[in-house]
Amino acid sequence: MDPLPLVSIVCPAFEEEEGLPIFHRALKAALAQLEHRFRFEIIFVDDGSQDRTLDVLKSLAQIDPTVSYLSLSRNFGHQAALTAGLEHARGDAVVSLDADLQHPPAVIAELLHQWQQGHDVVITIRGDDQRLPWLKRFTSKAFYRVMGFFSETEIRVATSDFRLLSRKALQALLQLKEQHRFMRGLVQWLGFVVKEIEFQPDERVAGKSKYTLRRMIRLASDGLFSFSRTPLRVPIWLSGFFFALALLHAVLAGVSWLRDTGAAWHYLLVIVNVGIGCVLGSVGVVGEYLGRVHEQVKQRPVYLLKECELRPLEVGVAQRREAA
């Protein structure tokens, strides 16, 4: 009999000493319902916490043989911690979720169900949570609107880092070596068959959110600048505006010359606007080159395969062709 498929559960944790034992208990209870169909390993990633998070993880690993842990040398941030966990996952599929119980472990059953239906990527969409502070809800919505406008990769509104990746999708994701990692975007960039499911986030079990405004801005700018070259194109658009102004003043200068009203300032404005247009245009051209360099240094694969079937060549075909 084939062994049950192995599923890795990856949980980044930064200063979560209070909540971790409660989270672990809730996670185990959810996984217990699924144990007749899957085997599980739980990988916690301590993201350089200053509190007792690592000690708590060590004691969890002592009482639970399915728990492994990694500890980063300092705080590298949520997306880096997730990457570390994913790199160490050994499962046929991997589920990532936050360690604060805001991502309800009960939803894992649905993620696994969708995986078994043949989806390589199952993402979750956060339902609107009225309990969250308004600033957080507003900034989150605004961010996805801006991303939707700028990004060359479609990023769905309110996607979270609670998701499942098949081994195939995980392997593809780990080929992306870029430094600034906005996982929600990277996962969409992969392609594959993506299934979305909605969930209602719960309240944080203990402690407070580690996503300060500064961190949120950093994550948003990683998302924006890694998935869009549009900001680099702004100078080109602006130069177009200034050239149009120059043209307008050129027309007005022509009209005043015909009428002999002699409005010299139109001539001056033509020169000034052409000058500004040229400077912005040149910056834009540099931006275009820079954009291409940026694409190149990210070193994303040129393509990813969904399937590939290369039939073995008939023995001797090549030789026979040569002889003919």
99 contact choice in Mg ion, ligand UDP, none (CB below 5 to 8 Å, kind-dependent): ligand UDP
Minimum CB distance to Mg ion smaller for 57 or for 246: 57
Minimum CB distance to Mg ion, residue 201 (Å): 8
Distance of alpha carbon 154 from alpha carbon 211, whole angstroms: 24
Beta bridge partners of 94: 8, 165
75 contact choice in ligand UDP, Mg ion, none (CB below 5 to 8 Å, kind-dependent): ligand UDP
Minimum CB distance to Mg ion, residue 98 (Å): 5
Minimum CB distance to Mg ion, residue 19 (Å): 10
Which among 86-94, 97-105, 133-141, 276-284 is the span making contact with Mg ion, rule CB under 5 A? 97-105
Residue nearest Mg ion by beta-carbon distance: 102
Which among 48-56, 91-99, 171-179, 277-285 is the span making contact with Mg ion, rule CB under 5 A? 91-99
Beta bridge partners of 206: none
Q: Is 15 in the site for Mg ion (CB under 5 A)?
A: no
Minimum CB distance to ligand UDP smaller for 127 or for 262: 127
Minimum CB distance to Mg ion, residue 210 (Å): 8
Q: Is 46 in the site for Mg ion (CB under 5 A)?
A: no
Count Cβ atoms below 10 Å from residue 171 Cβ, excluding itself.
11
Q: Is 102 in the site for Mg ion (CB under 5 A)?
A: yes
3-state secondary structure the chain: CCCCCEEEEEEEECCCCCCHHHHHHHHHHHHHCCCCCCEEEEEEEECCCCCCHHHHHHHHHHHCCCEEEEECCCCCCHHHHHHHHHHHCCCCEEEECCCCCCCCHHHHHHHHHHHHCCCCEEEEEECCCCCCCHHHHHHHHHHHHHHHHHCCCCCCCCEEEEEEEEHHHHHHHHCCCCCCCCHHHHHHHHCCCEEEEEECCCCCCCCCCCCCHHHHHHHHHHHHHHHCCHHHHHHHHHHHHHHHHHHHHHHHHHHHHHCCCCCHHHHHHHHHHHHHHHHHHHHHHHHHHHHHHHHHHHCCCCCCCCCCCCCCCCCCHHHHHHHC
277 contact choice in ligand UDP, Mg ion, none (CB below 5 to 8 Å, kind-dependent): none
213 token code pair: 């405004």
Minimum CB distance to ligand UDP, residue 171 (Å): 23
Residue nearest ligand UDP by beta-carbon distance: 209
Binding site for ligand UDP (CB under 6 A): 12-14, 16, 47, 75, 77-78, 81, 98-100, 102, 209-211
Which among 68-76, 98-106, 157-165, 261-269 is the span making contact with Mg ion, rule CB under 5 A? 98-106
47 contact choice in ligand UDP, Mg ion, none (CB below 5 to 8 Å, kind-dependent): ligand UDP
Which among 21-29, 100-108, 236-244, 305-313 is the span making contact with Mg ion, rule CB under 5 A? 100-108
Q: Is 47 in the site for Mg ion (CB under 5 A)?
A: no
- The contact set with Mg ion (CB under 5 A) reads 98, 100, 102
